[in-house]
A and B are shown apart, each in its own frame.
Chain A
Amino acid sequence: MRYVARKVVLFLVTLWAAITLNFILPRLMPGSPVDAALAKLASSGQTITNAQRRAVEIQLGVPHTSLITQYWDYWTSIVQLNFGTSYSFPSETVVQTIGKAAPWTLALVGVTTILAFIIGTLLGVYAGWRRGKAADTSVTLGATFFAAFPPFWLGLLLLYVFAFKYGWFPIKGGYDPGETPNLSLSFLSSAAYHSVIPALTLAITSLSGWVFGMRNNMINTLGEDYVTFAEANGLRTRTVALLYAARNALLPNVTAFGLSLGAVVGGSVLVEGVFSYPGLGNLLYIAVVNHDFPLMQALFLVITVAMLVAIFIVDMLYVRLDPRVRQ
C-alpha cells in the first residue's frame, strides 16, 4: 500500500512538474516565440479572433503581465483543453488537430511496443541462456547494430525498397485515400496495411532495449540458487531455462519499458514524418518544420503526459505482478 501511495504521489508531482516545465520553456527562449506565432497566425490567410490570439499568448507568453497571472491563466486553459490555434492548421483548434492524430500514434506505438517486446524478449532469453556461445554473440551484436540505425534512415531505406521500387506497400498515409475513418473492415484492413512498414521500422530499432534487458535478467536469474537446485535435481537445461528462469526473468522490466517507450515515441516523430503517417509524430514534424509554436507546445504537453500516464500504469501493474514490491 505504501508503495502504491508513494507511486501515486510521485506521479502527481511529476505531472505537475512536467506541465510547469512546458509553461517555462517558451518564456525562457530568446527571440519571443509568441511574437513569431502571432505574426504567422496573422499572415495565415484566415481571420483570427481575439479569443484565439489570447489563447496563443497564454500558451507562449504574454508580454507585460506578471508570471503568476500567466501561470494561473495557463492552468485554466489547460484544464479547459484550450491550446489555441495553430497556424499550420488554422481552420480548427489545436485540440481538434491533436485529437484526430492521437489514435494513430497510439495504435502505431502500441503495436510496435508489443512487437518489439515479444521479439526482443524471446531473443533475449535465447541469448542469455546460450551465454558466451555464437548464438549469444550474434544476437547481441545484431541487436546493437540495429539499435544504432537512425529510425528515419531505416524508414527511408524500407520505403525505397518495399514501397517505391517494388510497390508491395504504400508510400504514404495511414489509410487508402477515399476511405473515411470508421470501424468497417475495409478501413481497418487498409489501416493495418499502411502501418506495416512504419511499425516494422520502429520495432527493429527499439528491439535492443528488450533484448539486453531480458538477456541480463536471464544471466542473473541463471545464477540463482533455485535454478542450480533444479539442474541438480536432473531437469534438463532447456526445461529449466524456459519454465523456471524465463518466467521469473520475464517480470516486466519497468525501467526497460519506460526507456523503450521513450525511444519509440521519439523515433516515431521522424518515422511518421517520412511515411506521412497521420499521427502525433507527423504533427510534431510539421510543427517543427513550420516553426509552429502553439502546436509544438500542445504536442509536447500531450506526449509528456501520455508517457507519464503509461509508465504510471505499468508501475501499478508491476505491483500486481511482483509480490516482493508490496511490502
Chain B
Amino acid sequence: MSIVSPVPPPEVPGARVEIRVGPAGPIPGPLRFLSRALRTLWSNRKASIGLVILGLIILVAVFAQLIAPHSPTATTFVPYQNPSATNWFGTTGNGQDVFSQMVYGARISLLVGIAAGAMATLVAVTIGLIAGYRPGVIDELLSFMTNLVLVIPGLPLMFILAAYLQSRSVWTIVLVVAFTSWATGARVIRSQASTLRTREFVTSAVFSGEGLFRVVFREILPNMTSLVAGSFFSAATAAVMAEASLEFLGLGDPNTVSWGTILYYAQQQNSLLTGQWVLVFAPGLAIAMLAVSFTLINFGVDALSNPRLREK
C-alpha cells in the first residue's frame, strides 16, 4: 500500500500553474466554484471514472436502509453459510448477513476516509501556509517537523498510537490517521506557498496594507485550490487504507460495522477455512474501489494544474 498518492509531488516548485493567476478578487460563490470544478474534472476521463465510482458508493451509503435486506448486526441466521437466496454473500460466524454488513459498512468507511482526509488536509494547509509564508525560523522549524513525520513510517506509528490510546471508537481512528498523514500535503503546500509569496500580486496586497490573514486566505489560498484538493484526495485514500488496516488488527471498534471490521471477523472466524472467500474478497475489493476512486479523481485534479500531464 502506498500511504501517499501514487502521483508524487512535483519536482520543480512553481511548475504547477493554476489556471487563474493574479489577484483573486472576491471569492466566487462556493456553489458556482464547485460546479465549475466538477465540470472540469468530468472532462478528464480518469477523473470521471473515479467520480462515478465514488458517486455509487455514496449512494449505497446514503440509501443503506433501503438497499440492505436485513439488519447488519442481527445474529438471527445460521452461521458460516455460503451465499444463498436469503443471504446473498453468506453469513458470518455469528450468524449475521454479510451483504447487509457490506451495505451499511460503506457509511463508516466513507466517513472515516472523508473525515480523516479533511482533518489531515486542514492540518497540512495550516502548517504548509504558515511555513511557506513566513520564511526564517518558523519555516525551518515547521519544515523540519514535516520532514520528521514524513520519514517515520506512517502505518507502524498509527498502530502504536491506536494501541496506546486504548479507547475503541471510530473517532480514535480518524484522529490517529489524520495525525500521521498530514506531512506530504504540508510539504507540497509549503513549497507552493513560498513560491506564490514572491509574486507581484501578493507583494502588492501586502504593500496596500492587507493583514496577514487576508493575504493568506484571500490571495494565496485560492491559487492553490487544486493543490489542496489533491492533498485532500491523497489523504482520503491513505485514510481508507489505514482504517482497514487498523480494523483488521482489532484496533477499531468491534461493535461498529465497516468494511474493515468485516475483514477482521473474517480473519478471526477464519472464513478462508470455511471456504467463504466472499467474506474476504468483497470488503477488500470495496476498500480498493473507494481508494481507487479517490486516486482517479486526483489524477483529474492534477491534470487541471499541470498542463504537461494533461491528456492530449
Tell me, yes or no, whether A and B come into direct contact in the complex with CB atoms closer than 8 A.
Answer: yes
Residues of chain B contacted by A150 (CB below 8 angstroms): 1, 241, 244-245, 248, 284, 287-288
Residues of chain A from 139 to 186 with CB closer than 8 A to chain B in the complex: 140-141, 143-145, 147-154, 156-157, 159-160, 164
Interface contact B164-A307, CB-CB below 8 Å: no
| A93 → B minimal CB distance (Å) | 20
Alpha-carbon separation in the docked complex, A154 to B155 (Å): 17
| A313 → B minimal CB distance (Å) | 13
Most buried by B among A144, A211, A289, A293: A144
Residues of chain B contacted by A303 (CB below 8 angstroms): 153, 156
* B 172-187 to A, binary, CB cutoff 8 A, 1 in contact else 0: 0000000000000000
Residues of chain B from 145 to 179 with CB closer than 8 A to chain A in the complex: 147-148, 150-157, 159-166
Alpha-carbon separation in the docked complex, A263 to B309 (Å): 25
Chain A residue with the shortest CB-CB distance to B306 = A216
Chain B residue with the shortest CB-CB distance to A274 = B267
Residues of chain B contacted by A143 (CB below 8 angstroms): 6
User: Which of B2, B9, B154, B245 sits near A206, CB closer than 8 Å?
Assistant: B2
| B25 → A minimal CB distance (Å) | 33
Interface contact A148-B291, CB-CB below 8 Å: yes
Interface contact B151-A267, CB-CB below 8 Å: no
Interface contact B1-A267, CB-CB below 8 Å: yes
Residues of chain A contacted by B148 (CB below 8 angstroms): 14, 17-18, 21
Residues of chain A from 190 to 221 with CB closer than 8 A to chain B in the complex: 205-206, 208-209, 211-213, 216, 219-220
* A 206-240 to B, binary, CB cutoff 8 A, 1 in contact else 0: 10110111001001100100000000000000000
Q: Chain B's interface: helix, strand, loop or mixed, by majority?
A: helix
* A 266-301 to B, binary, CB cutoff 8 A, 1 in contact else 0: 110110000000000000110111010100100110
* A 28-67 to B, binary, CB cutoff 8 A, 1 in contact else 0: 0111010000000000000000000000000000000000
Chain A residue with the shortest CB-CB distance to B294 = A148
User: Which of B1, B144, B249 sits near A149, CB closer than 8 Å?
Assistant: B1
| B82 → A minimal CB distance (Å) | 15
Query: Is A265 located at the chain interface by the 8 A CB criterion?
Result: yes
Interface contact A289-B164, CB-CB below 8 Å: no
Asked whether A148 and B3 contact (CB < 8 A) given A159-B272, A164-B272, A304-B152, the answer is: no
Interface contact A270-B248, CB-CB below 8 Å: yes
Query: Is B46 located at the chain interface by the 8 A CB criterion?
Result: yes
User: Which of A153, A209, A307 sits near B6, CB closer than 8 Å?
Assistant: A209
Residues of chain B contacted by A151 (CB below 8 angstroms): 1
Asked whether A145 and B245 contact (CB < 8 A) given A18-B151, A260-B2, A304-B153, the answer is: no
| B257 → A minimal CB distance (Å) | 18
Query: Is A311 located at the chain interface by the 8 A CB criterion?
Result: yes
Interface contact B6-A144, CB-CB below 8 Å: yes
Query: Is A323 located at the chain interface by the 8 A CB criterion?
Result: no
10 further A-B pairs in the complex, CB-CB below 8 A; given A219-B308, A307-B152, A311-B151: A132-B311, A147-B6, A150-B1, A153-B263, A216-B309, A255-B9, A262-B151, A303-B153, A303-B156, A308-B151
Which residues of B come within 8 Å of A, CB atoms?
Answer: 1-4, 6-9, 11, 46, 144, 147-148, 150-157, 159-166, 237, 241, 244-245, 248-251, 263, 267, 272, 277, 280-281, 284, 287-289, 291-292, 295-296, 299, 308-309, 311-312
7 residue pairs from A and B, CB less than 8 Å apart: A140-B46, A144-B295, A145-B288, A145-B292, A150-B245, A153-B280, A266-B153
Which residues of A come within 8 Å of B, CB atoms?
Answer: 10, 13-14, 17-18, 21, 25-26, 29-31, 33, 132, 140-141, 143-145, 147-154, 156-157, 159-160, 164, 205-206, 208-209, 211-213, 216, 219-220, 223, 253, 255-256, 258-260, 262-263, 265-267, 269-270, 284-285, 287-289, 291, 293, 296, 299-300, 303-304, 307-308, 311
